[in-house]
Structure 1
Amino acid sequence: MGDRLIERGLLTPQQLEAALALQRRWGTRLGDVLLAQGWVRPYAFYSVLAEHFGRPFVDFDQSPPDPSLWREEDLTTYTELLVLPWGRSKGGILTFAVADPDPEALQWVRERAGEPVDFVITSKFDIIWQVQRHSEDYLSDYAVNELFNRDPVHSARRVFTKAQIAGIYTTASLALVSLAVWPITTLLVFNAGLAFFLLINFGLRVLFTWVGSEAEIDIKVTGEEVAALANADLPTYTVLVPMYNEPEVLPLIVDALRKMDYPLSKLDVKLVLEEGDEVTISAAKEMGLEGIFEIIRVPPSLPKTKPKACNYALAFARGDLVTIYDAEDQPEPDQMKRAVLAFRKSRPGTAVIQARLNYFNREQNWLTRLFTLEYSLWFDFYLPALEALHIPIPLGGTSNHFDMHILRSVQAWDPYNVTEDADLGVRFTQLDYHVGVVNSTTYEEANSRLGNWIRQRSRWIKGYMQTYLVHMRRPLHLYRTLGHTGFWGFQFFIGGSVLNALLAPVLYLMFAWWLITHGRALDPLFPAHILNISLFNLLIGNGFLIYLSMVSVFKRHLYRLIPYALTAPAYWLLQSVAAYKALWQLIHKPFFWEKTAHGLTGASGEMGKEGKA
């Protein structure tokens, strides 16, 4: 192949020599190396490949395939093995177009066809584009409805079930009757329950930070283990990059993926773009990307959400593992290798490994500093503790590394849930799969503008509300599948996060009213023992949360952020604003995806490398 490419002036001897060196280092085929490096254009390469195998080359623009020969249940296999039924010869023999004529693909064709077959060669991009063009309706319907059709109890498509609506009305009615008949007693019971709930919630977060601070929790994969990993043993890795109207940040993620410490010839990168997003599609085309990058155009359908787009793109994935990166992400270069090793060291049935997230523009303003404090506590302390305590982990929206087989077996993401990965983490645990955390970080762009932050945070909280409602449809089943610790951890970590944000303004207003007026109207609601617990929550509990925000930066040595933790209460109030917006949207626009603008800072991902956990 190398000699043929040189003879046709498609490759220089120096490039061939470099490609052979990469082939030995990466443990992949020469053609994969050449396409991954972009040294030979795909159309030219596959033309020469056809000559090498002595088979005709077919350009689908000139000789399109016959879609009537396709089987819908095989569409994923077509794109995975890069084969496609093309037509029948004059003698009636079924002919398949293949882009990768390896023994596995050819054997699958022969077994699946059940009749004599012939082969022609075509470009892998021709196969992908043809499947998108002729099967987009089927794949779009699959992406939107497959989870609801197969497992409706775990789909957020129905926001409230009839039982939940009945329960809400019954509880509200009983509360109103009780309030009318026994007003003081009812308010006292409610106040006492709230005080104890907040006390336990504060205690759990201290516990999570304590457990998450243990040194052995951080030692998942060592640098020595990464260095000893043989490239030839690495699996093919699919990377989904969902984007919408973000041409300005496309070069960032492309450059980050090129710099990954992973054989480029084993990367299968899907730029997941909405069909109407011509500005980003044009930007991707103009970049002249290497053969590892493919544009997946998501046809218009509702709901218009990131998980729906990822479900659609998953039909074209060829990796054994799959991860998601947002357009502005800057993952540490060895993250994929660490994820591979983490899977190998994890328990059987591990479905996903979550990398940690942090921000590269943390010093931009007050909002980004508080955002960094929050994320550091969440990903460096809370999530490792949840894993250690066997409590369901609400995954972050990026840098999740999935076992492809398991992900497909559970119908992937819920297109109706606007925090799809948080829901998927809980669903995995319910289905008896495991979720792990790896000691590698992806650096993102923290929201630096208040309106943008509110939009993003309200979507996250709305998704938490959806996740809580979905998984509490069968509370007894949830208890049996999660166990005592997992069930109550879910109540306080998922449900409690939402409840805290909704109740905080009410409690602050009550305290402010008492502080200003010194009124005694609330005294009946605060007998001595309840008053003591409430004061403990207000002073010690909130004080501990501020202290935990200070502690959160120690793993990354971001000591300059410590003084800003004293302003955390103002940040919590902003979360309450977002929570009430989320509650309104849950009722009126449950599936609306509020777009978050990226590229609002000129900072680069390199800023994040100084503080590595």
Structure 2
Amino acid sequence: MVLTILKVYFVCTVILMMVYAVRHAIFSYNRMFGRQRMYYSDIFDSDMPSITVLIPMHNEEKVLTYVLDALLACNYDRDRLEIIPINDNSSDRTAEMLEEYHSRYPFIRPLHRFEGERGKPAGLNEAMRLARGDIIIVFDADYRPGKDLLTSLALAFQDPEVGAVMGRVIPYNVDTNTLTRLLNVERSGGYQADQQARYNLRTVPQYGGTVGGFRKAFLLETGGFNTRVLAEDTELTYRLYTHGWKVIYANSAECYEEVPETWEVRGRQVRRWSSGHNNVMFRYFFRVLFSKYMSVREKLDGMLLLLVYA
């Protein structure tokens, strides 16, 4: 009996791996030889939406100047721009440094959190209730956006079907060691191949939690981020699709990040992602399967995406 169970398990595992191999082969072929779906980069509209940039921070005194200075160099109309750094229980000079920026740039409005529930989802929920912009764009504190990035991301929301948009992440510490070089390959495959191919094929591009934006009204109307879900970005992706919205991928909207430089840090990162992603899988698998808003193609890719960590 045990031997039979192991054989069945082995056969099912092989079949599943073959399904994912075919899936990735289709994505790679589409990216190399298929017709590439264009982004909204040729749109020009003098009436751009008002945006609020949220930056969750915890003890980020060493890196916060990079992201804030990069955002200040962006070419977005400052009358339509608000930046809210979220100081979440920092014990270093993060709060002091943010107040220095606020004194020089009034549209940088720090939120200091020393009470209540901790964590990124809780901080984003509190900041959204204070935000003045119609569109929320999120960056992690160690990211460095290019000067055209805010405009590129905001353009997608001229389309009334778009609920969220995701840009492309590029490591800037690639040459540190073997791990960072491997993660650069992973990022290239995940964004340049998978995300762009899913966008081309009109399946399920994924909002990634940073270097992306979403409509504030939708999230507030549906209860904000669930603080019990670690992968709040994946949860938002599927919440949007199961409510009839679309997620758009902007390959030309580039932002630069510092990837993990040790295997220990990378291991913690993957464990956190897998835990959060599998939580979303249990919550949304059948919602996706029976959704009246998603096409058969979207459902198939959506379920395979939900199962990647499982």
TM-score (norm 1): 0.48
2:63 alignment partner in structure 1 = 249
The SS at the match of 1:202 is helix
Q: Which position in structure 2 is the counterpart of 1:296?
A: 111
Contact 2:88-2:119 within 8 A present in 1 as well: no
Letter in 2 for 1:330: R
Q: Tell me the distance in 2 between the aligned counterparts of 1:404 and 1:326.
A: 18
Partner of residue 604, structure 1: none
Partner of 1:202: 21
Q: CA deviation at 1:391?
A: 3.0
**What SS class does the counterpart of residue 104 from structure 2 fall into?**
coil
**1:384 is paired with a residue of what secondary structure?**
helix
Instruction: Give 1:425's aligned residue.
Output: 237
Superposed, 1:356-505 pairs within 5 Å as 356-438=168-250, 439-472=252-285, 474=287, 476-478=289-291, 480-495=292-307, 497-499=308-310
Question: Which protein shows a greater Rg?
Answer: 1
CA distance in 1, matches of 2:90, 2:177: 34
Tell whether the 8 Å contact from 1:305 to 1:416 is kept in structure 2 after alignment: no
Cα distance in 1 for partners of 2:174, 2:213 equals 25
Shift of 1:415: 1.5
Paired position in structure 2 for 1:325: 139
Tell me by how many angstroms 1:214 deviates.
Answer: 5.3
8 Å Cα contact 2:67-2:145 kept in structure 1: no
Q: Equivalent residue of 2:110, what SS?
A: strand
Q: Secondary structure of the equivalent of 2:147?
A: coil
Distance 1:276 1:335 in 2: 28
Match of 2:8 in 1: 189
The change in CA–CA distance for 1:291 and 1:256 in structure 2 (over 3 A counts) is same
- CA separation of 1:450 and 1:188: change in aligned 2, threshold 3 A: closer
In 2 relative to 1, CA 265–489 (structure 1 residues): closer, same or farther, beyond 3 Å? same
One-letter code aligned to 1:353: V
CA deviation profile, 1:414-451 (whole Å, cap 9, x unmatched): 22111111111111111111111112111111111222
The one-character-per-residue Cα deviations of 1:69-121 (angstroms, maximum 9, x if unpaired) are: xxxxxxxxxxxxxxxxxxxxxxxxxxxxxxxxxxxxxxxxxxxxxxxxxxxxx
Give the aligned partner of residue 164 of structure 2: 352
Of the two structures, which has the highest relative contact order with CA contacts closer than 8 Å and spacing of 6 or more?
2
Determine whether 1:220 maps to 2:39: yes
Map 1:593-604; keep pairs closer than 5 Å.
none
Match of 1:133 in 2: none
Amino acid at match of 1:460: W
Question: How far off its partner does 1:466 sit?
Answer: 1.0
Gaps of 5+ in 2: none
Shift in Å, 1:276: 5.3
CA contact (8 A) 2:153 2:212 kept: no
Label 1:254 to 1:307 Cα distance change in 2 as closer, same or farther (>3 A): same
Task: Report the Cα offset of residue 253 of structure 1.
Answer: 0.9
TM-aligned CA distance change 1:476 to 1:360, over 3 Å: closer
Separation (CA, whole Å) in 1 of partners of 2:98 and 2:246 = 36
C-alpha separation in 1, matches of 2:33 and 2:280: 29
The AA in structure 2 aligned to 1:281 is: A
C-alpha deviation, 1:237, in angstroms = 1.3
Q: Deviations over 1:202-258 (max 9, x none)?
A: 000111222234575363144xx37x553xx22221000110011111110111011
Shift of 1:392: 3.0
1:272-287 map, 5 Å:
272-275=86-89, 277=91, 279-287=93-101
Query: How far apart, in 2, do the equivalents of 1:216 and 1:383 lie?
Result: 14
How many correspondences in the alignment?
Answer: 308
Shift of 1:352: 0.7
- Identical positions, percent: 22
Question: Structure 1 residues 360, 274: closer, same or farther in 2, change over 3 A?
Answer: same
Q: Distance in 1 between matches of 2:282 and 2:79?
A: 43
Q: Give the helix-richer structure, 1 or 2.
A: 1
Task: Give the Å deviation of 1:338.
Answer: 1.7
Aligned-residue offset at 1:366: 0.8
Q: Which amino acid aligns with 2:304?
A: F
C-alpha RMSD over aligned residues: 2.2
Which whole-Å CA distance do the structure 2 matches of 1:484 and 1:234 have between them?
34
> Is 1:267 matched up with 2:81?
yes
> How many angstroms apart in 2 are the aligned matches of 1:383 and 1:191?
30
Matched residue, 2:30: 211
- Contact (CA 8 Å) 2:82, 2:132: kept in 1 or not? yes
Shift of residue 310, structure 1, vs aligned partner: 0.4
Aligned residues of 1:356 and 1:379 also touching (Cα < 8 A)? yes
| Conserved 8 A contact 1:305-1:418 | no
Per the alignment, in what secondary structure is the counterpart of residue 294 of structure 1?
A: coil
Give the TM-score normalised by the residue count of structure 2.
0.91
Task: Answer yes or no: is the 8 Å Cα contact 1:393–1:422 preserved in 2.
Answer: no
Q: Call closer, same or farther: CA 1:338–1:465 in 2, change over 3 Å.
A: same
Q: Partners of 2:286 and 2:93 in 1: how far apart?
A: 42
Q: Does 1:305 align with 2:119?
A: yes
Distance in 1 (alpha carbons) for counterparts of 2:175 and 2:287: 44
How far is 1:401 from its partner?
A: 1.5
The 3-state SS of whatever aligns with 1:235 is coil
Per-residue displacement from partner, 1:325-381 (whole Å, max 9, x unpaired)? 11121112112222233232x4x3210111111111112111111111111111112
